[in-house]
């Protein structure tokens, strides 16, 4: 009887969580809605896993799997308490941009470390007797490679700067008082989410052996995403006249580094 009562309470709680999500008006913003959906899904999936673990365990036993699953449910519920408050979609977009910035920062730092003069980019890989990594020229950058990659690093640093500036602008000027403002914030979050994968693709293509045309293609993709981010920011409410200076500066930085990449790879076409 106690188990049946507990099971009913759990079922009602899960239904209540799902109901709250479906009650959330879509007009409050797709960024916020996605965060709430993901948090709700984690709670529900955590309870499904815990229930399966209990059902598959012998009666009156407490297994390590049950403890781990219980901890997973607690963790999922704690994430719900971290959902955006206040100007909901503005806070959700701030959270999304902050996450993107963290990933891009890590990618830039990793590539900066690898590009240190004389640094072996595969230094953390043990030498293989058959492949002979240390004697393989394809594991090192030539001087021409380094010149090309310095411009790519310029684009990666521009990505970090772009996210920092957009994040600051959303914090300072972002509003969610009208459908238009909410939609503009969602557009910024959507396009900003494309920066990190583009940075990763460029970084991967920068490792030796370098294919200049592949680097050029990935650099062009990243430059295109950055230009879109800057254009969307410029035309949105988060970018009053006081913010236009950094938009213009970063647009110029993206163009400058992309033109250098084109010049270094022109003879490969």
User: Per the omega criterion (within 30 degrees of 0), is the bond before 227 cis?
Assistant: no
pLDDT higher at 193 or 267: 193
Residues in the chain: 269
The average pLDDT across 148-156 equals 94
Q: pLDDT, tens digit, for every residue of 22-38?
A: 998 888 889 999 999 99
CA gap 189, 171 in Å, rounded: 13
Confidence of residue 122 (pLDDT cuts 50, 70, 90): low
128 pLDDT above the threshold of 80? no
Helix (H, G, I), strand (E, B) or coil at 240: coil
Which pLDDT score is estimated for 144? 87
Average the pLDDT over 228-237 and give the result. Answer: 95
**Of 80 and 225, which is predicted with more confidence?**
225
CA dist 205 and 116 (Å) reads 17
CATH number of the domain at 89-268, out of 3.30.1330.10, 1.20.1410.10, 3.30.1330.200, 3.90.226.10?
Answer: 1.20.1410.10
Mean predicted confidence (pLDDT) in 221-238: 96
What's the pLDDT tens digit per position in 67-112? 899 999 999 999 888 887 766 789 899 999 999 999 999 999 999 8
pLDDT band at 114 (very low <50, low <70, confident <90, very high): confident
Residues above pLDDT 90, as percent of the chain: 62
Check: CB of residue 62 under 8 Å from CB of residue 54: no
pLDDT of residue 230: 96
Phi, psi (degrees; rounded to nearest 5) at 98: -60, -40
* Predicted local confidence at residue 115, as pLDDT: 83
Please check the confidence at residue 135 and state whether its pLDDT lies above 70.
no
Q: Give the residue carrying structure tokens 């996450």.
A: 99
């Amino acid at each position: 009887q106690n188990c049946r009562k507990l099971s009913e309470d759990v079922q009602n709680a899960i239904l209540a969580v799902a109901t709250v999500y479906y009650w959330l008006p879509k007009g409050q913003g797709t960024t916020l809605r996605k965060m709430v959906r993901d948090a709700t899904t984690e709670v529900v999936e955590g309870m499904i896993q815990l229930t399966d673990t209990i059902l598959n365990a012998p009666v009156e036993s407490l297994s390590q799997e049950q403890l781990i699953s219980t901890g997973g449910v607690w963790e999922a519920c704690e994430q719900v308490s971290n959902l955006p408050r206040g100007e909901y979609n503005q806070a959700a977009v701030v959270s999304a941009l902050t996450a993107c910035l963290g990933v891009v920062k890590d990618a830039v730092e990793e590539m900066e470390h690898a590009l240190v003069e004389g640094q072996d980019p595969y230094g953390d890989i043990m030498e293989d007797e058959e492949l002979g990594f240390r004697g393989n020229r394809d594991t090192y950058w030539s001087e021409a490679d380094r010149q090309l990659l310095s411009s790519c690093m310029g684009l990666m640093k521009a990505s970090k700067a772009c996210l920092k500036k957009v994040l600051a602008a959303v914090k300072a000027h972002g509003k969610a008082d009208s459908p238009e403002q909410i939609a503009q914030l969602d557009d910024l979050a959507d396009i900003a989410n494309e920066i990190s994968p583009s940075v990763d693709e460029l970084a991967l293509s920068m490792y030796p052996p370098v294919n200049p045309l592949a680097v050029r293609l990935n650099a062009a993709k990243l430059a295109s995403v950055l230009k879109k981010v800057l254009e969307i920011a410029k035309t949105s409410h988060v970018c009053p006249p006081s913010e236009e200076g950094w938009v213009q500066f970063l647009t110029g930085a993206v163009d400058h580094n992309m033109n250098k990449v084109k010049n270094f790879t022109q003879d490969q076409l």
